Structures are given as C-alpha cells and as structure tokens.
Amino acid sequence: MLGVYVAGISGAHLNPAVTLANCVFRKFPWKKFLPYMFAQTLGAFMAAAVIYANYVAAIDVYEGVGVRTVTGETATAGIFCTYPAVHLSTTGQFFSSSPLECCN
Amino acid sequence: MSVLVILGSCLKVTTVGQLSRILSNLARCLRKREGFLNPSFICSRRGYTLNFSTFLRPLFQDLRFPSSMDSATNDTKLENDGANTATVSTIEITRSNPSNPSNEAVPTLLGGGTAGRKPRWVRLRQALRDPFSEFLGVFTLIMFGDGVVAQVVLSKGQKGDYQSINWGYLTRPPQPDSVGGELESC
C-alpha cells in the first residue's frame, strides 16, 4: 500500500512483469518499459542493500561472521529473496506461480 | 564534506566546469561584498542566468514553464500582474548579463519568451519523473517488506511471525511456492 501511494504518479507498477503486461495489453508506451524496469530493479536492490546494511550485525550473530547460507538451520537468504519449498517439484512450481503471474 | 555535498545538491552541480564557474561567481560576489542570498548572485550556464531562486524552483514544480506561449492572453495576463511579478519573479529565467544582471532581468515570467527551451535539469527531472517514482515505490515496498522478514527470521520467530510478513508487504499475496523459503528458518 505504501509503495503504491509513493509511486502513484507513475502508475505504481512496482514490478517489471506488470509493466510488460501494461505494454502488451494496455497500450503503455514501449519506450517507457526499459526505464521502468531499470528503475524498479534498482530500487529493489537498493532497498535490499539498505536492509542488509541495517541487519548485517544481527545476521552475523545469527549465523556467524562470514557465513551466509541459503538452506539449512540458519539460512538467511530467504530474507532477501524467495525459494521454493522443499516439497515442491518443478511442475508444481510452474503451476503454482504462472497463474499468479497471469493474475497480476 | 557534508556541507559540500549539501551545497552541491542545492546548486545542482553536475559538472566540474560548472562547479568552477559557481566558485568563481562566489569569489566575485565576495569581492564586490554582495550577499550570497542576493538575487544578483548568479551562476551563468549556457546563456541563462540562474539566480538563487533557480534553486527554489523544484519547490514550485506545479508552476509549469511553457516552452512557447500558446496563448497571448496568458502573456498579457502575466504582464498585467506587474505587481506580483516582483514577488513571483523569484522563479524566472533571465538572460545572462554579467555587467548588471539583477537590474536587467527581463520581466517575462516563467521564462516564456526568452528561454524557448527549458534548462537541462528541468528537462531531466520531467523525463525521469516516472522512473524515479517507480524507484521510490519499489524501494519503499522492498525496504519495509524485507525489514519485517529480517526481523522475523533473525529473531527466530520471537518478534513476529508469518502474519507480520504479510503486513510488511501488505500488497503481496501469499505465494504458496515461496512460503517455504521465507519461513523455513522461522
């Protein structure tokens, strides 16, 4: 909600997929696609960097200095991105995420 | 250093040459014992005279700068408001006149007749407005969302749970395939 409020004047796509869908189906100008995508990606990475810088000490305490794991007991990669659950197969991932993306 | 950064961002310094010109103008103002906040404190750039009020222009972003006066009535209306011109003239673009810049300020409001073309920074702002907006939107979304996730994960679920993450993102629907990744370590 806050992101939509902040980005109101530009349409608040907040997602390159949404911008692409708008370009394809809603006659959103294609020349805006690349700047939008770049800005969205950069914003996400900058925000993740801010969060990492804020929590780096806590992460060090949580799983050790210099140790960063994706899976396991003390995995912290899930803070900044999402991974499929262990029980999910490739087909399951496809069918669980593609309808969501289409609905977006 | 921070003072320099603030000063640079206020003056919209983009190039080293521009910085040197601004500094030379600053020295000239010092020699002539003029105040820095004097409107005659100018930094000339590309034929324009950017006086101090130029730096305040972002505050008046809603006031458009018509590149070409599309209606004469608008022009006459502006000239009729001569009394206001003195106060509103803080947002005008005047021709560069190094000898006597403040007195020779052309009274065309909002740079209508003289400019013909907006300064580069204004054009850049207008061109990049939407990407900046998207940047800030995604920045806000991810910062709050990831902050909540970090708090939940790093506190081992003591300071928040699955619903906290939903509140943190607030726009993101729960995705069944990604739930495991976020909550695996909780």
Q: Which of A36, A51, A75 sits opposite B131 (nearest CB)?
A: A36
Q: Which of B154, B179, B182 sits opposite A58 (nearest CB)?
A: B154
Distance CA A31, CA B61 (A): 24
For residue B26, pLDDT over 60 is answered with: yes
Q: Does A78 touch chain B (CB under 8 A)?
A: yes
Distance CA B76, CA A39 (A): 42
Q: Which of residues 15-54 of B touch A (CB under 8 A)?
A: none
Ranges of H-type helices in chain B: 2-11, 16-31, 72-80, 82-88, 112-115, 120-127, 129-154, 162-169, 179-183
Q: Are strands B43-45 and B48-50 parallel, antiparallel or unpaired?
A: antiparallel
Q: Which of residues 25-44 of A touch B (CB under 8 A)?
A: 32, 35-36, 38-40, 42-44
User: Amino acid identity, residue B81?
Assistant: D
Q: Which domain holds residue A52?
A: 2-103
**One domain, residues B63 and B15:** yes
Cut 0.80: pTM above it: no
**One domain, residues B7 and B64:** yes
Q: Quick one: pLDDT at residue A100? A: 62
Per-residue model confidence as pLDDT tens digits over B110-134: 544 445 678 888 888 888 888 888 8
Q: Which of A90-99, B73-82, B104-113, B136-145 has the highest mean pLDDT?
A: B136-145
Q: What's B53's DSSP letter?
A: G
Give the number of domains in chain A: 1
Q: Which of B140, B154, B178 sits opposite A62 (nearest CB)?
A: B154
Q: Which domain holds residue B109?
A: 2-127
For residue B162, pLDDT over 50 is answered with: yes
Q: Quick one: pLDDT at residue B40? A: 47
Closest Cα of chain B to A5: distance in Å? 8
**One domain, residues B84 and B170:** no
Maximum C-alpha span of chain B:
71
Per-residue model confidence as pLDDT tens digits over A82-101: 887 778 888 888 887 776 66
